[in-house]
Amino acid sequence: MKPYQHIPIRECSEPLVAIPLSEFAVETPHPYVKLGANYAGKSPYYLRAGVLTALQQAQAALQQHHPGWRVQIFDAYRPVAVQQFMVDYTLQETLRSRDLRLETLSAAEQAALWAEIYQFWALPSLDVATPPPHSTGAALDVTLVNADGQPVAMGSPIDELSPRSHPHHFAQASDPAAQQYHAQRELLGAIMSQAGFCRHPHEWWHFSLGDQMWAWQQRQQGHDRGAIARYGRCEA
């Protein structure tokens, strides 16, 4: 179990609501749908009502300093079945890119590979006490687009399994382009944190509010030593 999975959940029963896509930038079709993920005919663009309100606040803060810029939503609500699909897909793509076969790896090599994958991907658990963050409707993956609708360069793509994905990877860089990547990540982090979100320690793009990871970070950062999650697994 990851540390945040020990945080208790007191479900508040707040509904999942559709994200008004006209307010934000989105990819069409959805990135995981393009890969073959099955959302059972439902839209992946859902969040808990309070999380959506916070996201709208984050975008409003962004536009105060960068008129015309928008938050681009890469992914939001994710059923556990889609979480499983993406874990399996990531495993196969990682093996392919490294010219490996799972059955030829030793037990230690397989364990190291899975540890690498689960550093970025949550376990697709069906246990109501340990839901994947995205399956609560309280987590989302986002980036920024500028006033021309062009993605803002962040230095690595969303979902990349590499140290470049860590939020502060470019913090000490001397190269001007890398310094700009860090500045853009800091901008994204600032508008989201001002709205109440916490960012995943290993992913510059992943933010949550009210789930177990958020509550764990509240405790770790000393904001609320008794924080608990108010959003558990839910169904769209």
Inside any domain, residue 167: yes
Catalytic, out of 14, 116, 160, 203: 203
Inside any domain, residue 229: no
CATH of the domain at 70: 3.30.1380.10
Inside any domain, residue 179: yes
What pLDDT is attached to residue 42? Answer: 85
What pLDDT is attached to residue 236? Answer: 78
Q: 207 pairs with which residues across the strands? A: 140, 199
The continuous run of DSSP H or E covering 57 comes out as: helix 49-65
Average pLDDT of span 210-227: 95
CA distance 233 to 132: 8
* Domain, as residue range, for 42: 3-220
Q: What is the pLDDT of residues 163-203, one digit of tens each?
A: 999 999 999 999 999 999 999 999 999 999 999 999 999 99
Is residue 203 flagged as an active site residue? yes
What is the number of domains present in the chain? 1
Inside any domain, residue 60: yes
13, two tokens? 């029963």
What pLDDT is attached to residue 35? Answer: 96
Contact 120, 167 (CB under 8 A): no
Q: Enter the pTM of the model.
A: 0.95
Inside any domain, residue 235: no
Other beta carbons less than 10 A from residue 98's beta carbon: 9
Confidence bin at 41 (pLDDT 50/70/90): confident
Inside any domain, residue 193: yes
Inside any domain, residue 35: yes
Inside any domain, residue 226: no
CA distance 197 to 206: 10
